[in-house]
Amino acid sequence: MSNVEDSLTYSAFYCYEVQPSRYRGQDACATRFSLFRLYIIVINLGAVMGKLVTLNIDGGFQQGFSVRGEIWQDVDSIKNEPNLAIASKSAHLPPHSEILEQYRHWQSLYTNLDLFYSSRLKHKGRFTNTSDRDNAFEACKKAAELLAQTFNTWLGSSDFQPIEILLRNNLDKSESTRILLATENYGLRRLPWHEWDLLKDFPKAEIALATPNFQRVDRTKNLDKKDKIKILVILGDNAGTDADEQVIRELIPDAEICWLIEPQRSELDEPLWQKSWDILFFAGHGKTKDNGSIGTIQINAQDVLTISEIKNHLLQAVKSGLKLAIFNACDGLGLAYQLAEGEDLHLPQIIVMRENLPVAIAPNFLQFFLENYTQGLSLYSSLRESRQRLQILEKDFPCVCWLPVLCQNPAEIPPRWLELGGNIQISPYKGLSAFTENDTEIFFGRKVLTNSLLSKVERQNLVAVIGASGSGKSSLVAAGLIPQWLAQATEFLPRFVLKIRPGFPHRNPWKNLAEELGKISPNLIANNLAFLDLVVNLESNSGELAKFLTAIVQEKNGCQILLVIDQFEELYTLCSEEKRRSFLAGLVEAVRQESWKVVLTLRADFLSQALDEDLGNIFDERDKLITPMNDEELKEAIALPAEKFEVEFADELIKRMIQDYRQNSGHLPMLQFALEELWKRQKYGVISLGIYEEIGGLTQVLGDYAEKIYCQLSQEEKSRRDIFLLN
C-alpha cells in the first residue's frame, strides 16, 4: 500500500470513535429517529488531504445535540508525516422534532409523483391530467423549499455558530472538499445535507454518508494495477434498464464487463464468488424496509433479494477487490446500510438513490456520472457535478437533484478511475503533440508572453514568432493567441482565423491556403473548378491574395481576419523554389494592407533564409522571440493542468522536474511527454516524486518509449530505420 493510502487510513481511524451498532433488531430501529451519535469528517483534497475536520454530535431531536468540532492539518500525506491539530470548538444544536415531520410530508408528496411518470418502483404512471400533475409538482417543490429552509434555520442556530465559524475560518473556497456524515440515525441520513447553506460558499465541496462502525476489509488477492477495469453489471426486472446498458457500452468501451440480465439467483454465484470486480452496477427495482435497516433489489420478474441473502458472496467480492457499488434503483439507503455495517460487509464506496428514481432520470444520472468519473475527476466531484446537472430536468421531474448520495467507508481511500484500472481518454498534457485552439483551458505558463504577442498583433500587420525547435511556438499561437484574439470579436465586428502549414497536407502553400479560404467563404468558391481557378490565380498573380481577402471582408460586413502560417520553415524544406517565391510575393503584397493580420511561426535556424527573401524587407524588428520559461511559468505548466482534474503534483517533484528540464536543453515536448506519462500513473489524485523516478525522469521516459516503438516494428521496418540512422 502506498504512503498516501497508509496516511489516509491512519487519519480515518484516528478521527472516528468506533462504537457497537445500536440498531440491530426491531427495538433498536424504533429509537433511531430520536437518539444518535453523529460524526462528520471533512477532508480538504486540495493540499494532498490537507485538512481533516471531525464533528461529534450526541443527543436527539427531542432533547437537542451537543457538538464537538476538531480540525486537523495533514502536513504531507506523501511523506507520511503525522497529523497536527489546528483548532477545536464545542457547540450545540437545539431540539427540533418538527423537521422530521416536514421531511415525511415532503417524502409523501414526492412519492405520489409516481402517479404521473414511471419510476423504477412502478413501471408506469396512472394519471395524465395536466392540471393535477402541475398542482402535484408545485406542492412537492414548495414542500422541498420549506424543508431546506427549516433545515438551514436549524443549522444556523446561534448555539451551532461556533462550528460554522470554525469551518469557514479553516476551509478554502477554491479547493475540493469532501464531507463525511457518519450517523446511525436513519432520519438524519435522509435529510437534504447537500442543501446546507455553508456549501454554497464552498462550491467544490461534496457530502457523503458514513457509519461510525467501520473497518477496512483485508484483500485476499493481488490488487496491483490492471490493464482493464472489471465491472459486474446486473440488470434486474426490466424498468428501462436497457438505457443504462447503452450508456455503459458507449462510455466504457474498453472495460471487461460481465452482463447478467434478469439473472436467476444461481447465476450470481460464480461471478461474485470466483471472480474479482472493481465495480458492481445494478439497475432495476430497489426498496428500503424496516426503518432503513434492510434493502432489497429485484433481479428478475419473480426474485427479490435482500443483501443478507447474498452476504457471503458480497463479502467474497469485497475481499477480492470490489471498491465501488452503484445502485441505479429506487430508495437505496437500506442497501447502503447493509453493504456497510449492517451485514459487516464494509464495502468501500456505494452510490444509491435516497428516494424513488424516475425511469427517465436513471440513464441521465449514469451518463453524467460516468462522463465525469471516466475522464479523471474524483469520485466526489463526479457525483457533485452529476447531481448539479440533473437540475435542468427538474421542471418535469421535481427534486431529482436530491436523489444521488455517496456512502463512504472512512477506512478506505476513494479511488479514481485510474486506480480502478480504467483508462482516461482525456489528458491535460499534450505529450509530443502541440496544443491546439481547443486546449486553451489547459494551456498554462505563457500568460505574459501571450498578452505581449496579442498586443503586438493588434499593432502590426505582420508578426513572426521565432524560436528554437521545441520551444512552444505553435502552442503559443494556437492555444494562447488565437483564443484571446477571437474573444475580442463583437456582433458588429466579427473575427475569423485562417490557419495553414505551407507544406502540409500539400506541398503547395497556395493550395493549402485556398482550402482554408473556402471554409470561411464557400460562396466565393462555389465548385471545384472555381477552387482550381483560385489556386492558379494565387500562384500567378501576387496581388490575388489581397484581392480575395478584400472580398471576404466585404462579404462578412467588415470582418477582421488573422492568417496564421504555422511552421513557416516548411517553405524552405518541403516546397519548391517556384512555389516559395510565388507565395512570398503574394504574402508581401497582402501584409501591406490594414484589413488583416498575418502571424507566422518560424524555427530560429531558418531566420537568415527568411530575411534574405522579399519578406525580409518588412520582417525586420517585427518578430517576437520565444524566450525560455522561468521557474514560475514552468511550475504553472506542470501543476495547473492537473489541478483542473483535482490532481496534485508534490512540491518536491515540481522542483526536480524544473531542474531536469534546465539540464536537458529545455525542450517543452520532452517535458509534456513526461507529464503525460506521469498523468497515467497518478495514485489517489497525487503525482509524487517516486512515480517520476519510476519512469526514469525526463530523458529515460522518452528513450523507453522510443525503444518500445522500435520493438513493435517488423524486421523489414527495423532494417529501414537502421539504414536511415546510418545515413
CATH of the domain at 564: 3.40.50.300
Higher per-residue confidence, 127 vs 214: 214
Task: Give the per-residue pLDDT at 222.
Answer: 56
* Strands of the sheet with 285-289, listed across from one edge: 285-289, 294-298, 304-306
Q: What is the pLDDT of residues 576-614, one digit of tens each?
A: 999 999 999 999 888 887 778 999 999 988 888 888 776
Rounded (to 5) percent helix, strand, coil in the chain? 50, 20, 35
Task: Give the per-residue pLDDT at 498.
Answer: 93
Task: For the chain, give the mean pLDDT.
Answer: 84
Task: Give the per-residue pLDDT at 657.
Answer: 94
Closest CA to 52 of 100, 11, 3: 11
Lowest-pLDDT range of 48-62, 133-147, 303-317, 639-653: 48-62
Is there a single domain that holds both residue 178 and residue 46? yes
Q: How confident is the model at residue 58 (pLDDT cuts 50, 70, 90)?
A: confident
Asked if pLDDT for residue 49 goes beyond 90, the answer is: no
Is there a single domain that holds both residue 253 and residue 336? yes
CB 329 within 8 A of CB 403: no
Q: What is the pLDDT of residues 412-432, one digit of tens each?
A: 888 999 889 888 878 899 988
DSSP H helices, 344-442, are 361-373, 379-389
Asked if pLDDT for residue 641 goes beyond 80, the answer is: yes
Task: Give the per-residue pLDDT at 74.
Answer: 43
Q: How far is CA 188 from CA 123, 193, 292, 342, 727, in A?
A: 29, 9, 11, 17, 76
Higher per-residue confidence, 155 vs 24: 155
Asked if pLDDT for residue 38 goes beyond 50, the answer is: no
Is there a single domain that holds both residue 511 and residue 371? no
Instruction: List the CATH number of the domain containing 338.
Output: 3.40.50.1460
Q: How confident is the model at residue 397 (pLDDT cuts 50, 70, 90)?
A: very high
Task: Give the per-residue pLDDT at 225.
Answer: 55
In a domain, 600, yes or no: yes
In a domain, 134, yes or no: no
Task: Give the per-residue pLDDT at 708.
Answer: 66
Q: Please tell me the total count of domains within the chain.
A: 4
In a domain, 14, yes or no: yes
Is there a single domain that holds both residue 349 and residue 466? no
- Give the residue from 182, 210, 238 where a domain finishes: 210
How many beta carbons lie within 10 A of that of residue 123, not counting itself? 14
- Give the residue from 391, 408, 425 where a domain finishes: 408
Asked if pLDDT for residue 36 goes beyond 90, the answer is: no
Is there a single domain that holds both residue 657 and residue 679? yes
Is there a single domain that holds both residue 598 and residue 641? no
Q: What is the pLDDT of residues 441-452, one digit of tens each?
A: 999 999 999 999
Q: What is the pLDDT of residues 502-538, one digit of tens each?
A: 999 999 999 999 999 888 887 767 666 778 888 888 8
In a domain, 136, yes or no: no
Task: Give the per-residue pLDDT at 80.
Answer: 45
Higher per-residue confidence, 26 vs 203: 203
Lowest-pLDDT range of 29-33, 70-74, 483-487: 29-33
Task: Give the per-residue pLDDT at 430.
Answer: 92
Asked if pLDDT for residue 246 goes beyond 80, the answer is: yes
Q: How confident is the model at residue 19 (pLDDT cuts 50, 70, 90)?
A: very low
Q: What is the pLDDT of residues 85-117, one digit of tens each?
A: 888 899 998 999 999 999 999 999 999 998 887
What proportion of the chain, given as a percentage, has pLDDT over 90? 52
- Give the residue from 625, 659, 682 where a domain finishes: 625
Cβ burial of 361 (10 Å; 0-12, 13-18, 19+) is buried
Q: What is the mean pLDDT of residues 656-679?
A: 89
Is there a single domain that holds both residue 239 and residue 365? yes
Q: What pairs with residue 208 in β-bridges?
A: 180, 406
Task: Give the per-residue pLDDT at 124.
Answer: 54
Is there a single domain that holds both residue 657 and residue 608? no
Asked if pLDDT for residue 619 goes beyond 50, the answer is: yes
Q: What is the pLDDT of residues 123-154, one digit of tens each?
A: 555 556 788 889 999 999 999 999 999 999 99
CB 222 within 8 A of CB 251: no
Closest CA to 493 of 546, 556, 552: 556
Asked if pLDDT for residue 37 goes beyond 60, the answer is: no
Is there a single domain that holds both residue 273 and residue 172? no
Q: What is the mean pLDDT of residues 38-58?
A: 56
Range of the domain at 240: 230-408
Task: Give the per-residue pLDDT at 342.
Answer: 87
In a domain, 99, yes or no: no
Q: What is the mean pLDDT of residues 41-53?
A: 50
**DSSP character at residue 127:** -
Question: Look-up: residue for cell 393535477?
Answer: 132
Task: Give the per-residue pLDDT at 221.
Answer: 63
Cβ burial of 381 (10 Å; 0-12, 13-18, 19+) is buried
Q: What is the mean pLDDT of residues 645-665?
A: 90
In a domain, 664, yes or no: yes
Is there a single domain that holds both residue 353 and residue 488? no
Task: Give the per-residue pLDDT at 291.
Answer: 82
Lowest-pLDDT range of 215-229, 239-253, 493-507, 657-671: 215-229
Is there a single domain that holds both residue 542 and residue 457? yes
Instruction: List the CATH number of the domain containing 685.
Output: 1.10.8
Task: Give the per-residue pLDDT at 35.
Answer: 35
In a domain, 18, yes or no: yes
List of residues 6+ apart from 338 with CB closer than 8 A = 293, 294, 295, 306, 307, 308, 345
In a domain, 388, yes or no: yes
Asked if pLDDT for residue 544 goes beyond 80, the answer is: yes
Cβ burial of 531 (10 Å; 0-12, 13-18, 19+) is middle
Q: How far is CA 565 from CA 383, 503, 511, 568, 606, in A?
A: 44, 10, 13, 6, 15
Asked if pLDDT for residue 697 goes beyond 70, the answer is: yes
Is there a single domain that holds both residue 347 and residue 330? yes
In which element (H, E) is residue 145 found? helix 130-155
